[in-house]
Chain A
Amino acid sequence: MNQTPDITPTTTTLLIAPAAVLMFGVFVLPFLFLVVLSFWSQVPGSLSLDTSLTLANYVRIFTDSYYLGGLWTTLWLSGFVTLICLLLALPLARWIVLHAGRAKGLLIGISILPLICGALLPTLGLVNLLSPLGFINGALKSMGVIQSSLPLLGNITGVTIGLVQAFLPLMVLPLINTIERIPRDYEKAAMSLGASPLVVWRRVLLPLMLPGIVAGSLLVFCAALTAFVTPQILGQGKVVTFASLAYQQAAMVLDWPFASALGIVMLLFLALAGLVGALISRRLARGS
């Protein structure tokens, strides 16, 4: 006789327990501490903390033009990176689905490579490509296209290139997943009804790809919003993003309460992005 163990609420709790304890210890507790910390303040000129609750840190973030500027830069940079990723990933994902055939697995593997090998290695590689004496400038100069090196490092251009490189897979994968589920007959039907390829994209394919576009955009936007290594290395400290501000405060200035407040603000924006994404997804799900 085949005896299956009973799944009772007790056994379920036991099964979840190790992971729950771990999550509570290394995530929930520190996170709660972070929240509390952000309402404390640093006693000026010392490392001791003033534990009376205050909104001063938040007021500072939203009134000081330096931090406000960093927040603004991070937001539009993330939006811009998301847009570029979308424009690059749409044709790529569709090509992989329609034409890659047997090479599909390999191509998907290659396209998720930047995710697997971490942020540091590809970013350091990009430094070699983008620096004033790097491959790109060298090649352009030797071809006579440019006289002096293009500034590709230590500015928004470099950071954008780096972030797009790092997070393109987050856009490609959900898009492949969505596009695979769109039967090609939809396009054929639309064309027989008089839609040119451009109209087919606008009226049929893009609306049907929307769930994948929303998912991919959300992933890329959140990843870019919190990115630290890439903007730090390719921005060479000259591009101020929110993550680098938090790092400065936590590791150099040692104003932990303020660093915590910066972190919480970043989390709030992540939550906001997630909320917008969820609302759009729900709207789409109800629509179809």
Chain B
Amino acid sequence: MTGSPYLRIRSIKKSYKGAVALHDIDLDVEQGAFVSLLGPSGCGKSTLLQILAGLLEADGGDVQLGGEDITNLPPWRRNIGLVFQNYALFPHLSIRQNVRFGLDMLGMDRTEAEKRVDESLAMVGLDPALSRKPGELSGGQQQRVAIARAIAIRPRLLLLDEPLSNLDAVLRHKVRLELRELHDRTGITTIMVTHDQAEALATSDRIAVMNGGRILQYEAPEALYRAPATAFIAGFVGSPPANLVPLSALDNNSWTLANGQVWKPIASLAPRAAGVRAGAACIMALRPEALAVGVSGEGGLPGRVVAIEFIGGDRLVHVETGGTQLTVRVSAEQAMAGPDILLFPPQETPLLFDANSGKRLKADF
């Protein structure tokens, strides 16, 4: 089956009591890829994961894995590993028994199974001699056991459902790196559901951003960051995410901001450059790290500093401008004049979106 993707999802639909959870989802995942389903809660990402695992039945559409149609295969015949947010380790079994559970289901003989348990535990950095019950482990260790249990069966696909959400911030950072390393070592095709964009950006080869039961964009992390397809994505991706400034075109050269204030930017950011007609309502996404701060100059966006957060190395400056509050990331060394300042967006093509559809407006070159 060369040419066709390893995991092929076609027109998967799902509704709960009339409320649509998934509209016609199409998604292709290459063998060995690490893909994230990223979106806020209720966007349908977990529903899609459950359908892939066979725990939920789709209303329509089909799923192919390695050329085989698995749409109607029960979960226990899919050989798909699953890791949960709350670990879901069996509390009545020891750690080794937990990891061995899937191997017993395969009917693997004892010595081989024990060897595989050792391997799997070592793979996630746990001591294979652990003979304790899951309840005696920390959250991070429990999650490692859960991952070891899922990879012990050498699954065709590994599904991670918010695997890091129950861990504290420091551990979350550490485990997410480990997840990526583990993926690179095992080569298991992995799909991770997360609401945390930093997690998705850090681990994934590609990210499918979901909202309202649809996939809005499916791209590599850099492309997603550089060229978000919708204002929603721009306002979701990045730490902190892009500022979304609502504005409408006054004429070819200037914008009206939310509070009626007029802003005349440099030519490359003007409505004319973006091909926007007068009166059109738009949203401009401004990356906090791409805004320069000054006190005088052409095309600056006037604002007033409301608050400054020191985040180590950098400062986040919260600026009230034209009726919208923006976040600007500046180096901690940079002296801040104020409170009245000018913000200078980068001179490249602006991230400009239609205010109604949220879709990106392509600059006219």
B105 in the interface (beta carbon within 8 A): yes
Chain B residues whose C-beta falls within 8 Å of the C-beta of A192 in the assembled complex: 53, 55, 75-76, 78, 80-82, 150, 159
A191/B75 contact (C-beta < 8 A), A208-B92, A288-B91, A288-B133 known? yes
Q: Could you say which of A118-126, A194-202, A267-275 contacts chain B?
A: A194-202
Partner of A194, one of B53, B88, B89, B106: B106
On whether the beta carbons of B101 and A193 are closer than 8 Å, the reply is: yes
Given contacts A192-B81, A193-B149, contact A185 B88 (CB under 8 A): yes
A192-B78, A193-B153, A208-B91 known; A185-B86 Cβ under 8 A: yes
Say whether B79 faces chain A, with CB atoms less than 8 Å apart.
yes
| Residue of A191, A196, A208 with most partner-chain B CB within 10 A | A191
A195 near B76 with CB under 8 A, answer yes
Q: Indicate whether A191 sits within 8 Å of B76 (C-beta atoms), given known contacts A185-B84, A199-B105.
A: yes
Please, which residues of chain A bring their CB within 8 A of the CB of B135?
Answer: 288
A108 interfacial by beta-carbon distance below 8 Å:
no
Instruction: Report how far A203 CA is from B149 CA in the complex, Å.
Output: 16
Beyond A189-B88, A199-B105, A207-B92, whether A194 also contacts B79 by CB under 8 A is yes
Residue of A nearest to B75 (CB): A191
A288 contact set on B, CB distance < 8 A: 91-92, 133, 135
For chain A residues 215-267, which have a beta carbon within 8 Å of chain B?
A: none
Residue A183, interface by CB 8 Å: yes
**In residues 74-111 of chain B, which contact A (Cβ within 8 Å)?**
74-82, 84, 86, 88-92, 101-102, 105-106
Q: Does A112 contact B (CB under 8 A)?
A: no
B142 CB to nearest A CB, Å: 12
CB of A186 within 8 Å of the partner chain: yes
Most buried by B among A183, A188, A199: A188
Which B residues between 26 and 78 are near A, CB-CB below 8 angstroms? Answer: 53-55, 74-78
Q: Which residues of B contact A183 (CB under 8 A)?
A: 86, 88
* Closest chain B CB from A236 CB (angstroms): 46
> Could you tell me the distance between the alpha carbons of A196 and B54 in the complex, rounded to whole angstroms?
12
A188-B55, A193-B102 given as contacts; is B90 within 8 A of A287 (CB)? no
Please name the residue on chain A nearest to B101 by beta carbon: A193
- Min CB distance A34 to B, Å, is 42
**Complex CA–CA separation, A174 to B363 (angstroms):** 67
A204 within 8 A of B: yes
Please name all residues of chain B whose beta carbon is closer than 8 Å to the beta carbon of A287 when the two chains form the complex.
92, 133
Q: How many Å lie between the Cα of A141 and that of B67 in the bound state?
A: 60
CB distance from B351 to the nearest CB of A (A): 40
Number of A interface residues at 8 Å Cβ cutoff, please give it: 20
> Are A190 and B101 in contact, CB atoms less than 8 angstroms apart?
yes
With CB as the reference atom, state the residue of chain A lying closest to B78: A192
User: Roughly how many angstroms separate A66 CA and B75 CA in the complex, as a whole number?
Assistant: 57
For B105, what are the chain A residues with a Cβ–Cβ distance below 8 Å? 193-195, 199
List chain B residues, Cβ under 8 A from A203.
101
Residue of A nearest to B82 (CB): A192
- The CA of A242 and the CA of B31, in the complex, are separated in Å by 70
**Closest approach, in angstroms, between the C-beta of B148 and any C-beta of chain A?**
12
Smallest Cβ-Cβ distance to A185: which chain B residue: B88
Q: How many whole Å from B307's CB to the nearest CB in chain A?
A: 40
* Residue in B closest to A287 when the chains form the complex, CB atoms: B92
The answer to whether B76 touches A189, judged by C-beta atoms less than 8 angstroms apart, is no
Instruction: Report yes or no: B92 in contact with A188, Cβ–Cβ below 8 A.
Output: no
Q: Could you tell me if A191 and B55 are in contact, using CB atoms closer than 8 angstroms?
A: yes
- Are A188 and B82 touching (Cβ within 8 A)? yes
Complex CA gap A93/B54 in Å reads: 25
- Tell me the residues in window 241-287 of chain B with beta carbons closer than 8 Å to chain A beta carbons: none
Task: Please judge, given known A-B contacts A196-B76, A199-B105, A288-B133, whether A190 and B84 are in contact too, CB under 8 Å.
Answer: no
CA distance A72 to B146 in the complex (A): 49
B132: min CB distance to chain A, Å: 11
- Taking a contact as CB atoms under 8 Å apart, the answer to whether A194 and B91 are in contact is no
Beta-carbon nearest neighbor of B102 in chain A: A193
Judge whether B84 and A188 touch: CB under 8 Å. Answer: yes
* CB <8 Å contact, A188 and B53: yes
Chain A residue at smallest Cβ distance from B99: A193
Chain B residue with Cβ nearest A188: B55
- Of the A-B pairs whose beta carbons lie under 8 Å apart in the complex, a sample of 15, sorted by A's number, is A185-B86, A188-B84, A189-B88, A189-B89, A189-B90, A189-B149, A191-B55, A192-B78, A193-B101, A193-B153, A194-B77, A194-B79, A194-B106, A195-B101, A204-B90
Binding site for A on B (CB under 8 A): 53-55, 74-82, 84, 86, 88-92, 101-102, 105-106, 133, 135, 146, 149-150, 153, 159
Task: List 5 A-B pairs, minimum CB-CB distance, nearest first.
Answer: A194-B105, A193-B102, A192-B82, A185-B88, A191-B75
- Taking A190-B90, A191-B75, A196-B74 as known contacts, 15 extra A-B pairs with beta carbons closer than 8 A to each other, sorted by chain A number, are A185-B84, A188-B53, A188-B55, A188-B75, A189-B90, A190-B101, A192-B76, A193-B149, A193-B153, A194-B77, A199-B76, A204-B90, A207-B92, A210-B92, A288-B92
